């Protein structure tokens, strides 16, 4: 019996951030857990031919407006980092490194990264900042900073990103209930309904 959803996201995705604030609670209400799976949007954009939303002609202004409006609707603080978007290598690598040892702490780290990035508008891609956020979780900062430079951890993120795309993930956030795919923060109401009803 299925008991967990999978939540794919990029650490520099505003809609991923907004979904991250709700997904665990939505799943828990229906008795499910959520496995968080960061990946890099860059390779997915390379495949779809899309550009980051804010850089897309005609769409940019709307999307900036919708980020803020969507945040207000769900009562979330939202602030765009000055340099945006960026490839979120350090937090994504740190996530998987930590996940293999302490999955709960990996999720806490992910939440902390999203918080500094989109609540405070800081640069959540900086390794030192990621290490700062991991320290209160009992993670040795030197160990983390070393780990994310190893070929093994780099390769792990690459493989996770490729596996996500092989599964059909092309945007952030992206949720799977079993094999049922849902793309976008604005599909979370459908995710809850699917969990409740078993589909329609």
Q: Encoding tokens for residue 15?
A: 């809609």
Which residue blocks in the chain are alpha helix, DSSP H?
14-20, 23-29, 41-48, 59-73, 89-99, 103-118, 127-134, 141-147, 151-166, 188-197
Q: Which stretch binds a copy of itself (CB under 8 A): 25-33, 42-50, 102-110, 152-160?
A: 42-50
Length of the chain: 200
59 binds a copy of itself (CB under 8 A): yes
In whole angstroms, how close is the CB of 105 to a copy of itself at the nearest point? 32
Q: Which stretch binds a copy of itself (CB under 8 A): 11-19, 23-31, 124-132, 162-170?
A: 162-170
**CA 130, CA 191: separation in Å to the nearest integer?**
30
Residue 183 has phi, psi (to 5 degrees) of -110, 125
170 binds a copy of itself (CB under 8 A): yes
**CA 111, CA 16: separation in Å to the nearest integer?**
11
51 binds a copy of itself (CB under 8 A): yes
Encoded one letter per residue, x for contact with a copy of itself by CB under 8 A and - for no contact, window 68-87 reads: -x--xx--------------
What letters, b where the CB count within 10 A reaches 16 and e where it falls short, cover 164-177? bbeeebbbbbbbbb
200 binds a copy of itself (CB under 8 A): yes
31 binds a copy of itself (CB under 8 A): no
- Note the residues at the interface with a copy of itself (CB under 8 A): 44, 47-51, 56-59, 61-62, 65-66, 69, 72-73, 165, 168, 170-171, 181, 183-184, 186-187, 189-190, 193, 200
């Amino acid at each position: 019996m299925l008991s967990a959803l999978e939540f794919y996201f990029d650490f520099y995705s505003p809609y991923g951030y907004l979904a991250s604030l709700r997904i665990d609670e939505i799943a828990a209400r229906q008795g499910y857990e959520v496995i968080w799976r960061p990946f890099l949007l860059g390779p997915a954009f390379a495949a779809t031919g899309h550009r980051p939303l804010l850089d897309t002609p005609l769409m940019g202004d709307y999307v900036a407006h919708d980020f803020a409006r969507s945040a207000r609707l769900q009562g979330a603080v939202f602030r765009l980092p000055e340099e945006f978007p960026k490839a979120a290598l350090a937090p994504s690598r740190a996530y998987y490194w930590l996940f293999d040892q302490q999955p709960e702490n990996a999720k806490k780290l992910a939440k902390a990264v999203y918080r500094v990035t989109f609540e405070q508008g800081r640069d959540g891609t900086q390794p030192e900042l990621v290490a700062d956020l991991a320290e209160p979780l009992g993670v040795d900062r030197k160990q983390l900073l070393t780990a994310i430079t190893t070929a093994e951890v780099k390769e792990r993120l690459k493989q996770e990103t490729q596996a996500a795309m092989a599964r059909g993930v092309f945007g952030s956030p992206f949720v799977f209930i079993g094999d049922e795919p849902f793309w976008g923060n604005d599909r979370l109401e459908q995710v809850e309904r699917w969990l409740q009803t078993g589909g329609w």
